[in-house]
Amino acid sequence: MFSPAVKFFTAALALCTVAVQAQPTFTKVFSGLLGFDDMATIDGPFGTRALYTFTGGNLTNANTGALAGTFLTAGGGDLGIASTNNGMFYANIRGIVQWTDGTFAYLEAVGSGAFTGTVANTYLHVETNSSTYSGLETQFLFMDLDVTTMPNVIGIYALD
């Protein structure tokens, strides 16, 4: 039989063992373009707040390439902040998409990316009255924006 000390250490080791979790995987659901226009900036205690309005854009089905919707120029833009503390850009994007079926979606994207880098990554929340795209409301989505292009090339991904 094992001594009480060996039993204790075996039990302690079992408690310390961590199960390896599988890495999450994502599937690209939309590709697109999103144009921004500089409106103004506001310098504040944490950095420079960017006030960008949409100039238009589109979303296409990542599998078929078919047009899925267009970004409306009214009611949206980026109100992110370029931090003076760490060189990051904290995106705060809100916009409206009109789907090809005539319905609408409200998109809200928040996240960060290196201000000097090429891609901003954001968590994406969607609300829509479209029966075709209503499943997006309950999915974990993220959007990346290539900020080196204008309009920005975007990708929207869903957690598998």
pLDDT tens for 119-141 read 778 899 999 999 999 999 999 99
Burial of residue 14, with CB atoms counted within 10 A of its CB: 0-12 exposed, 13-18 middle, 19 or more buried: exposed
Exposure of 121 by Cβ count < 10 A (0-12 exposed, 13-18 middle, 19+ buried)? middle
pTM as predicted: 0.80
Tokens of 67: 């047009």
Q: Flag whether pLDDT at 152 surpasses 80.
A: yes
Confidence at residue 1, expressed as pLDDT on a 0 to 100 scale? 58
What is the predicted pLDDT for the residue at 16? 55
**Would you state the pLDDT for residue 11?**
55
Name the band, by pLDDT with cuts 50, 70 and 90, for residue 155. very high
How large is the average pLDDT for residues 97-114? 92
What's the confidence (pLDDT) of residue 2?
63
**Over 60: is that where the pLDDT of 116 sits?**
no
The count of residues in the chain is 160
Predicted local distance difference test score (pLDDT) of residue 105: 97
State pLDDT tens for residues 13-54.
455 555 678 899 999 999 999 998 877 889 999 899 888 888
